[in-house]
Amino acid sequence: MNNAKRHELYQRLRDANPAPTTELEYRTPFELLVAVVLSAQATDKGVNKATAKLFPVASTPATLLALGEDGLKEYISSIGLYNAKAKNVIALCRILLDSHGGEVPRDRAALEALPGVGRKTANVVLNTAFGEPLIAVDTHIFRVANRTGLAPGKTVRAVEDRLARVTPAGFMQDAHHWLILHGRYVCKARKPDCPTCIIADLCDYRAKTPGEPPARPLTRPVARGRPRRAAAK
């Protein structure tokens, strides 16, 4: 895919969804951090269901730490790997209180030093909570980047690095959300919805599902995701 196609691809995604954001529900950078840690190998819907009960009771490092692992498990037991996640969340709360004044650090190294936080989680927090122009590559973005020809790569890090190089600067802030939503709802793993895809004519994928994809839709799809939050200070 050449640069002109990449620009057009992002422009169409922007036109369809001008203000995308994560589907995880949160109010603060800390709530987002916890939600993203809980979302590993789980659905956003499942995490939101659990945190809707958890956050009204404990939404800060101190109040979550006070719950303890067993108390936290009562709220997140419906989420996969909840035992390990409870251990990580309680441990990261302790580190935030001891080393960061109870605040989520706006620093990659400090974030990745927290239990249960890897590069992808750090990128999500830095992008969504703090407005950093970063792309967190999950399975959806990895698939979309390779399938469309936008930024092919054999590893998650290779795709992330290539997306950082080829994504026009004006689209970097929201690229993560556009691509993950496109992969989640249109460019799905088993059967991509090519006939309704607004970037089908730009896509390099040869095995498109049957149908006649419109070059440009006459009406825009309904934007997914909640309204953007202001970047945390």
Assess if CATH 1.10.1670.10 describes domain 3-20+134-202: yes
Q: Which long-range contacts (CB under 8 A, 24 or more apart) does 135-139 make?
A: 135/160, 135/163, 135/164, 135/167, 135/172, 135/175, 135/176, 135/179, 136/160, 136/176, 137/163, 138/180, 139/183, 139/189
Residue-level pLDDT at 39: 93
- CATH fold group of domain 29-128: Endonuclease III; domain 1 (1.10.340)
Q: Where do the structural domains in the chain lie, given as residue ranges?
A: 3-20+134-202, 29-128
| pLDDT confidence tier of residue 211, bands split at 50, 70 and 90 | low
Residue-level pLDDT at 207: 78
Same fold? 3-20+134-202, 29-128: no
Residues designated as active site: 120, 138
> Would the pTM count as exceeding 0.85?
no
**Which tens digits make up the pLDDT trace of 92-108?**
999 999 999 999 999 99
Average pLDDT over residues 77-100: 95
Residue-level pLDDT at 212: 53
Average pLDDT over residues 44-70: 95
Task: Choose between 148 and 211: higher pLDDT.
Answer: 148
